[in-house]
Amino acid sequence: MSGHARVPRPLVGVVADDITGAGDIGVMFAKHGYAVRIFGAGTDLSTLPQRLAGRRTDVIIIDTDSRMDAPSVAYAKVRRATAALVRAGCGLFWKKTCSVFRGNVGPEFDALFDELDHGFALAVAAFPKNGRATRDGCHYVHGRPLAESEFARDPVHPRTESNLVADLQRQTGRKVGLIPLAVIRRGPEAIRAAMGEAQAAGVAYALCDGETQADLAAIARAAAAERVLLGSSALAEELPAVWEPVTPYSPLAGLELDDAAGVLVIAGSVMPQTQAQVAAAEAAGARVFTLTSEEALRDPAGAAAQLARAAADGLRAGANVVVRSENRPDAVDAARALGASLGMDGVAVSRRISAVLASVAKAALAETGARRLITLGGDTSAAVCRELGVDETVVLAEIAPGLPSSLVPGERPLLLVLKSGSFGGPEFVNEAIAHLSGLGR
């Protein structure tokens, strides 16, 4: 960061609403040498100080798994998590969101502010390396307005409003404002002046436009000493260049995981990116097994047992194995219709399918001793972590923008990739398999 004085580095505390989002922001720090620990939704937060004692930690991330909760439940979870980060001694508090603002964004921002008695913060949704840009408050995904993107068909949180300022304002009683791209492009001093003006006008959440990594770098310099930040993870990539440097952390030092089994992939996302990634893995030789929605909804235990046997056979033979849900748009619609006939809403259907996939993962890993796992989709990743009893991970390395590998520490360590369904190119699963296969051997 030539020409700019470094800012003292705080202990960073992040509250994320899902497990893939936790990894997404965690790797932005980990790839700069930070020691990043993620604690799952099932963690007893009262024990957090004891669990951190004597272990290097630069970033603490708590996953509240609250994206699909009722707003009041999400609010309560975020307040508890924020209080735990205060007790842990954090100096920067970050309410991490999905990069297209799915979930309980307003209530969760409010919870963080209420717990901290805080009044103003910048919010950034832009993630240029994954095709997310914000102009004049409107959000775009690979050049298409959010309401015209694949997220408009999200089965749980359809994104039908492209204007994030208007969308957020509907979710909160606090005032939402905008710092436009013209100000961002004038640099940090102009951004700081706009922050002061917004605060004086009673704005609590100031959404920043952003299209490029240079835009994020300017915002990072302006916000380097802020106590609270809000939004997606991309801004976190720029902050280490502003803060004092760290001694690189090596969480895999001395670890050996020399098992002979293949890599298990559990794919529960309905995003087109996941479809393409599974197809590429199959073309590269992975064995692919499909969980139909009818099996998951009518006979979950039987479906899980059958798929687990098939997956275990493949893993023992040294093959890479993918177990996926149906993810074509017509299959998703059919699953909703069948669920409705059984008295289940869209959230319940999604959770049932994720739970069956999680049961498959647990059984297949237990039967084979496989130590390398990839999950595709936030809901699926959360379900798998719950089923496996994973409540802590250490972030390792970035495989693709916002997509890390992680280590589950303990007596039987597990190498893990938890991927947001909409992230990554067509070859991501193959890249992740190659990455995991080269670790610990």
All structural domains of the chain, each given as residue ranges with its CATH number in brackets, are 12-241 (3.40.50.10840), 264-437 (3.40.980.20)
Beta strands in 92-247 (DSSP E): 92-96, 121-124, 132-135, 138-141, 144-145, 175-179, 203-208, 228-231
pLDDT for the residue 1: 43
pLDDT for the residue 372: 96
pLDDT for the residue 2: 44
Residue 330 has pLDDT above 80, yes or no: yes
Rounded mean pLDDT of 415-441? 91
Residue 333 has pLDDT above 90, yes or no: no
Task: Give whole-number Cα distances, 433 to 113, 265, 288, 386, in Å.
Answer: 40, 9, 14, 22
pTM for this structure?
0.89
Residue 174 has pLDDT above 60, yes or no: yes
Task: Give whole-number Cα distances, 143 to 147, 152, 160, 399, in Å.
Answer: 12, 14, 16, 24
Token digits of residue 173: 């009683």
Least confident of 34-43, 160-169, 328-337, 390-399: 328-337
Could you tell me the pLDDT band of residue 441, with boundaries at 50, 70 and 90? low
Rounded mean pLDDT of 304-317? 97
pLDDT in tens, 214-256: 999 999 999 999 999 999 999 999 999 999 999 999 888 777 7
Rounded mean pLDDT of 154-172? 93
Could you tell me the pLDDT band of residue 4, with boundaries at 50, 70 and 90? low
- CA neighbor of 153 nearest in space, from 427, 422, 426, 428: 422
Helix, strand, coil distribution of the chain in percent, nearest 5: 45, 20, 35
Determine the Cα–Cα distance for residues 403 and 327; give it in Å rounded to an integer. 21
pLDDT for the residue 56: 95
Could you tell me the pLDDT band of residue 362, with boundaries at 50, 70 and 90? very high
pLDDT in tens, 49-87: 999 999 999 999 999 999 989 999 999 999 999 999 999
Between β-strands 92-96 and 12-16, what pairing exists: parallel, antiparallel or unpaired?
parallel
Comparing 118 with 331, the larger pLDDT belongs to 118
Could you tell me the pLDDT band of residue 328, with boundaries at 50, 70 and 90? confident
Q: Backbone dihedral region of 384: left (phi > 0), alpha (psi from -120 to 50 degrees) or beta?
A: alpha
Helix (H) or strand (E) holding 397: strand 392-400
Task: Give whole-number Cα distances, 284 to 17, 21, 280, 288, 289, in Å.
Answer: 33, 28, 6, 11, 15
pLDDT in tens, 182-223: 999 999 999 999 999 999 999 999 999 999 999 999 999 999
Residue 395 has pLDDT above 90, yes or no: yes
